């Protein structure tokens, strides 16, 4: 293993962090629970944006990648809708725990599907250097990504780029990703 994690190692670590945040949420009380939920919401929004801008487009270029990515994007859209419905919700609201259980199942099922279907495509289809460069691009995208879910924006890069007030933010994120990948900063 290199000293810098490759994109799959980075995303696996992020998936573990997501699992830990869900576990922390289940044991936290009141104010601490709200803080953990807010962290989870932010982390999920950033994580999915980075995947949509970096890993999914690259996976599409590999044999069988389109079908795998299409299924992951459907899952992400559903998770975003669930998370958006909970955004701004107090953890003390009567329906919070039920909605959290639904969100947890959707997110963890999605993570498992990525680990089973998409990550092997990347590790088998790309070289170590490409995977390491993609990790840098994921970190760049995460640094500029929205911190709230935006299900109405959709889950494709084209839709994200056309989305009203988020367009500038997505453009900056795309430029940072391209620069991290060694491409032109803008098109």
DSSP state of 53: I
CA distance 186 to 1: 33
Whole-number pLDDT of residue 89 = 85
Let me know the angle formed at the C-alpha of 164 by 135 and 139, rounded to the nearest 5 degrees.
Answer: 10
Helix-strand-coil percent breakdown of the chain, rounded to 5?
80, 0, 20
CA distance 101 to 120: 28
Whole-number pLDDT of residue 178 = 63
Task: Evaluate whether 98 touches 89 at the Cβ level (below 8 Å).
Answer: no
Whole-number pLDDT of residue 148 = 61
Whole-number pLDDT of residue 187 = 43
Among the listed residues 3, 4, 46, 10, the one whose alpha carbon sits nearest the alpha carbon of residue 122? 10
Tens-place pLDDT, residues 40-65: 988 998 898 889 889 999 999 999 99
Whole-number pLDDT of residue 143 = 77
Using 70 as the pLDDT threshold, list the residues of the chain that sit under it. Answer: 1-3, 145-176, 178, 182-187
Q: Please give the C-alpha separations between residue 113 and each of 70, 73, 74, in angstroms, as whole numbers.
A: 12, 11, 12
DSSP state of 34: H
Task: Evaluate whether 149 touches 49 at the Cβ level (below 8 Å).
Answer: no
pTM for this predicted structure: 0.80
């Amino acid at each position: 293993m290199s000293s810098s994690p490759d994109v799959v190692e980075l995303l696996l670590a992020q998936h573990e962090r997501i699992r830990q945040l869900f576990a922390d949420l289940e044991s936290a009380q009141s104010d601490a629970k709200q803080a953990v939920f807010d962290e989870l919401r932010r982390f999920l929004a950033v994580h999915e944006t980075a995947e949509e801008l970096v890993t999914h487009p690259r996976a599409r270029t590999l044999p069988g990648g389109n079908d795998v990515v299409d299924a992951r994007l459907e899952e992400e859209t559903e998770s975003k809708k669930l998370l958006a419905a909970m955004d701004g919700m107090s953890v003390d609201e009567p329906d919070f725990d039920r909605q959290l259980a639904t969100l947890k199942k959707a997110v963890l099922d999605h993570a498992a599907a990525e680990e089973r279907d998409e990550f092997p495509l990347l590790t088998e289809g790309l070289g170590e250097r490409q995977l390491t460069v993609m990790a840098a691009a994921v970190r760049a995208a995460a640094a500029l990504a929205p911190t709230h879910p935006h299900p109405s924006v959709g889950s494709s890069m084209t839709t994200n780029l056309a989305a009203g007030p988020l367009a500038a933010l997505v453009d900056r994120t795309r430029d940072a990703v391209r620069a991290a990948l060694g491409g032109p900063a803008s098109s």
